Chain A
């Protein structure tokens, strides 16, 4: 059975619940310390947290860890690579996704539940959503304000919206370009998102909308 790696950098702190969500989605998964190898894995999740305490810039130091070279090899092989929150920051810092995550428009940490509109179902991560579906999950970050000079090489996967799917400034929690909450590469096998799907994978915690992200990659690697 294909196996996922949830990479743990020093300061990563969403690894356990991300592992839990992948298991719940029916996947095989291990926490992998950043000094280890990825040779037995078929997909990678870079979870949230404060790797290296956000020193220098969020994600900047982790992006230069040796293990990221292996992540790039897997990415080139078409394996699914998911970056959540700090993991998204690592993906942009390492060049696996274009653009940057700037400080929030109100420059401080913000933890709250948001609505997202699913804008693209043709990725390894979104195949179980309906086009235009509105889902709910929490965000928790201080640098989630996505910006890129050029959006030609990416596909927008998730956008901050209201509960009816309207994409307006009012519901943009961090000032990101076009309300972007998550983007993927053109091939659709690398995705970065600021909201936390693993925190919306249990009905008692407020939503199970995030579980489909994990079900989607579990299904994807089977093919």
Chain B
């Protein structure tokens, strides 16, 4: 808390808060809980359209899939805890978002994990990477929620740090929606699940500051302990309790613990609450009331139920051997009162906890984009280098540790443009996440737009029409003027791009103060998107049949700033690829039309690594080769072959199709050119009638599957 905030609290309260009150206020007024530095700007994001049942404001957003099906979606970050204790940090991140989905009334059905690390050459980065993956796997697998995708990136700027985001979706009927706030007094507040311990004390406050160099020793106690076994029981018990129709409000205990959950539940519609802190089951002896009120121990939920229903609900928890305790009640008067034994130890106006004034930091624009010369290299050498990059190679090592099949819905598996989950016999839900911090670093506005555009392209590539978005904004300290400016630019970019596609953000998360050793991370907006696809239209990126034509949709420009090619060859400057929203929309619409008319056999979005990598990914996925002519790629601005192959211009797709459909496909697209054909097991790039590259599919596959060997296996 800042000094001016302490003054303001004193003024509003008319006295100095006591120690317990101060601890609760500190948690609620933290950046992580209050969004005080971001709230003003988040209002710029579009949050409503016909698909949205419930936008931002509660634990997760709700989207209409069809008349009888709603999808709940949310995204969370667990960056600070994961950087200190990767296994527990990543695992409890999964647990938290799963409870956010659950407390809206939905069964959690899938997780996505966008995760980012420093270079794998360093031992500590490998340790962070391997244990984050293990934490996600052990937790997600044990609770029976499939982890179906995500993205993984490695970058020098994240040395000794990690960004661990996690998105979750849930499935329910629209009428099953349960709110996180009460609308009556006299309800009992029932705490269910794990006992409360000393873990995660001041977790949100810790997540609202930069990590010190000694964080690993100093901040362990702020990281929570994962218990997926209890979480699984909590999922089943909660769904069973909700089915009684007698739960009036439900909230999970996450950041800010009992204080946050109970004060928000009671206060949102103007009611108050009394909490009897001594009744909270304690994991450790001699915990004091302050610890109990702000502990972030995991796997706990808070139910509001009428007195006459509490035993019926309680029996359900007992069936699952879950401890349940009435810890408080809602009251008419809008106050937040805490008792310890019979002594009143806190008494605050409830809105003092929630009503945190906005902070607007100084924002200072910067412009670091400048055009640079692309180095002269042999195309083959460049291709092999880019192909071997940890950012490009197969992530099967990761997602094979995740049970991505449990619950029996996974139609399209991880490793493709988007995952598809079967929702009913006719339709599936496509789910994907993207973020491009290296573009955002050069130009936060276009970087943000690119994340949205890529999500939409990924959805379209599998045949899905986009439904809704969620955003997770990972930034350094907002107190740095350049960072704050990049944050505002990011939001504007996210807003512009979503509006162009007619999409809304239904939930989101902001994580500031991501720095270690006084070094800022790159602006890292991560966007996850949902789409709806007819099962029979689902399309994959793999080449299907020898002789099929390969075409590129879109225009390739000299846009290599932030590209994987530049990164590998140590070029930090450049101009970030621009996003032309009209072009994106046109080409996405064309792709969807071509898929729906069943004219194409394979579709793939062109992104990291450019056309060269996109072609290789299609070859590997389909176990086929190709022969293409580099100079046939429609390009603007006099590009060298290297630049054509590795430019990361947006708005592009690669497709393959039977020759007989050529005229019909041509008629769909303005920007379109056939560049070659699907071949047997060789990969040939021609330039001016000469073979510039000739690779064997087996050799390429070996490189593509080299992640285990990079980890020393």
Contact = CB atoms under 8 A, between A and B. Distances in A.
A55 B413 CA distance: 29
Interface string A41-75: 00000001110111100000000000000000000
Contact of B406 (A13, A33, A108, A204): A13
Interface string B67-92: 00000000000000000000000000
Interface string A136-155: 00101000000000000000
B402 A111 contact: yes
12 contacts: A10-B320, A11-B232, A50-B228, A108-B134, A111-B403, A112-B400, A140-B141, A196-B405, A204-B411, A205-B408, A205-B422, A206-B413
B378 interface: no
Contacts of B402: 109, 111
Contacts of A11: 142, 229, 232-233
Interface in A1-60: 10-11, 13-14, 16-17, 20-21, 33, 35, 48-50, 52-55
A167 interface: no
A106 B142 CA distance: 19
B410 A50 contact: no
Contacts of B408: 14, 16-17, 20-21, 198-199, 201-202, 205
Main secondary structure of the interface of A (DSSP, over half): mixed
Nearest to A10: B233
Given A10-B233, A10-B320, A33-B319, A50 B405 contact: no
Interface string B319-335: 11100000000000000
Contacts of A112: 400
Interface string B341-373: 000000000000000000000000000000000
Nearest to A54: B142
For the complex of A and B, the 7 pairs showing the least CB-CB separation, nearest first, are A13-B144, A17-B408, A53-B229, A50-B142, A140-B403, A199-B405, A138-B405
Contacts of A138: 405
A166 to B, nearest CB: 19
A204 B537 CA distance: 12
Given A17-B408, A205-B411, A109 B143 contact: no
Interface in A144-186: none
A110 interface: yes
B229 A14 contact: no
Contact of A140 (B229, B405, B413): B405
A109 B137 contact: yes
Contacts of B406: 13-14, 17, 48, 140, 199
Interface of B: 134, 137-138, 141-144, 228-229, 232-233, 319-321, 399-411, 413, 422, 428, 535, 713
B91 to A, nearest CB: 12
Given A11-B229, A13-B143, A112-B400, 13 more contacts: A10-B233, A11-B142, A16-B407, A50-B228, A111-B399, A111-B403, A140-B141, A140-B406, A199-B408, A204-B422, A204-B428, A205-B408, A205-B409
A185 to B, nearest CB: 28
Contacts of B403: 109, 111, 140
A19 to B, nearest CB: 10
Interface string A192-223: 00001011011011100000000000000000
A35 B411 CA distance: 34
B87 to A, nearest CB: 13
B144 A111 contact: no
B422 A49 contact: no
A29 to B, nearest CB: 15
A52 B229 contact: yes
A18 B187 CA distance: 39
Contacts of B142: 11, 13, 50, 53-54
B361 to A, nearest CB: 44
A109 B135 CA distance: 12
Contacts of A108: 134, 137, 401
B405 A111 contact: yes
Contacts of B411: 204-206
A215 to B, nearest CB: 17
A109 B138 CA distance: 9
B190 to A, nearest CB: 20
Contacts of B134: 108
Contacts of A35: 319
Nearest to B410: A205
Given A140-B403, A199-B408, A204-B411, A10 B141 contact: no
Nearest to B399: A111
A190 to B, nearest CB: 24
B141 A109 contact: yes
Nearest to B420: A204
A210 to B, nearest CB: 10
A21 B143 CA distance: 21
